[in-house]
Amino acid sequence: MSKRFFTLFLTIFLSCLLCGGLFAARNVMTCDWCGKKISSNASFLKSEDKNFCSEKCFNAFAESLLPVCDVCGKRFKEGFTSDGKNFCSKACLETSFRECFHCHRREPKGVIVGNNLFLCEYCKELPACASCQMPLDRFAKDLGDGRSLCRDCARDGIFEQPEMDSVMKDLRKTLADKFRMSTDHEIKYQLCDRTALKKESTGDGEHELGLFIFNIHTLTFFNRPVRSREEFRILILNGLPPDFFRGVGVHELAHDWMQQNLPHIDEPMIREGFAEFVSWAYAKSEKLDRVPWRMEQNTDPVYGDGFRKVRDMMGDARTASEWKKILLKAYPAPAKEKEAE
């Protein structure tokens, strides 16, 4: 344990108290601890403005001034303070720490991962699962694209394209039922590894779990556009556990809806914030506890702050048309698009 985090205090007032020394009683006095009279010629102990008939009474008084351990209730001379609490021993101090779910040591510092699990500062440096952030053990699966998965994520993760297709189809229907949020064009789904996702990403691709891609392909004839075709694609990383995958899937479908309904909003914080908000609303309604928790705790200035901003804007609104109204009021469409409406 590092001394950095705590102040060790030594109780030194015992010696100060004793400096009063032994006196002979001259007048009639009473013991400040037991209340007995101290006869005129008896020797007694004096400490500052207090008198004691015996060493026993003096010791009892001195002990009453010692701090009390907030854990075991014992009084102590040497101990620790942390967060304004007193601890008589290292064992009592450690009860105030959280237990690391991985190494089971109680440690003062660490991070929270997964569903409110405490990971100590030593274990957080270990290689971690790319999906759940848990430290990896020898059962880890190397995906060959810089990611490794823990045994649970590797077992439960989505790795097959038909599984992605059916989950996405289900999510689209669920969003239409729950929030009246739907688009009717065809979307191509691609389950991919990190290398493929990075290739298509406009960002660094390092932390992205999915991508929504919208393209317009225009056919020209003698430099004149004759026909254009819109392409909608959603890429999601393979190996994500199903709950997590659904959270990402809804996020990307929200981008798809926004592309159709509010294409003029290009502020990344609002685009990502809205996609996170829809994913959060979905996860909450499905009771996928890990997903909303992750968003609420996200400190990212685009995703985390954007999510909180959009959530606060939306208040009690629970349908896509209400969300659209609120966003249009805050971010009005340019005049040209308004006429077309």
Q: Which amino acid is it at 279?
A: S
CB of 221 to Zn ion, least distance (A): 36
Residue 271 beta carbon to Zn ion: minimum distance, rounded to whole angstroms: 7
Residue type, 142: D
Task: Pick the closer one to Zn ion by CB: 114 or 333.
Answer: 114
CA distance linking residue 201 with residue 164, whole number of Å: 20
Residue whose CB is less far from Zn ion, 47 or 131: 131
* 120 vs 175 by CB, closer to Zn ion: 120
Quote the least distance from Cβ 44 to Zn ion, whole Å: 9
- Residue placing its CB nearer to Zn ion in the complex, 43 or 228: 43
Which residues are paired to 87 by β-bridges?
A: 80
Q: CB of residue 9 vs Zn ion: minimum separation in angstroms? A: 14
What is the nearest approach in angstroms of Zn ion to the Cβ of residue 244? Answer: 9
Contacts of residue 151, defined as CB under 8 A and 6 or more positions apart, other chains included, come to 137, 139, 140, 141
To Zn ion, the closest distance from the beta carbon of 127 in angstroms equals 12
> CA torsion sign, 132 to 136 to 141 to 142?
positive
SS3 336: helix
Q: Nearest-CA neighbor of 212 among 291, 290, 279?
A: 279
| Nearest to Zn ion of 5, 338 (CB atom) | 5
| Distance of closest approach, residue 27 Cβ to Zn ion, in angstroms | 17
Instruction: Choose between 188 and 338: whose C-beta lies nearer to Zn ion.
Output: 188
What b/e string do you get for 115-152 counting C-beta neighbours within 10 Å, with b at 16 or more? eebbbbeebbeeebbbbbbbbbeeebbebebebbbbee
Q: Give contact residues for Zn ion (rule: CB under 5 A).
A: 31, 33-34, 53, 57, 69, 71-72, 88, 92, 100, 102-103, 120, 123, 129, 131-132, 150, 153, 272, 275
Torsion of CA 239, 241, 243, 248, to 10 degrees: -20
Cα(42)–Cα(62) distance, integer angstroms: 21
Task: Kindly tell me which of 93 and 167 has the beta carbon lying closer to Zn ion.
Answer: 93
Cβ count near 169 (within 10 Å): 12
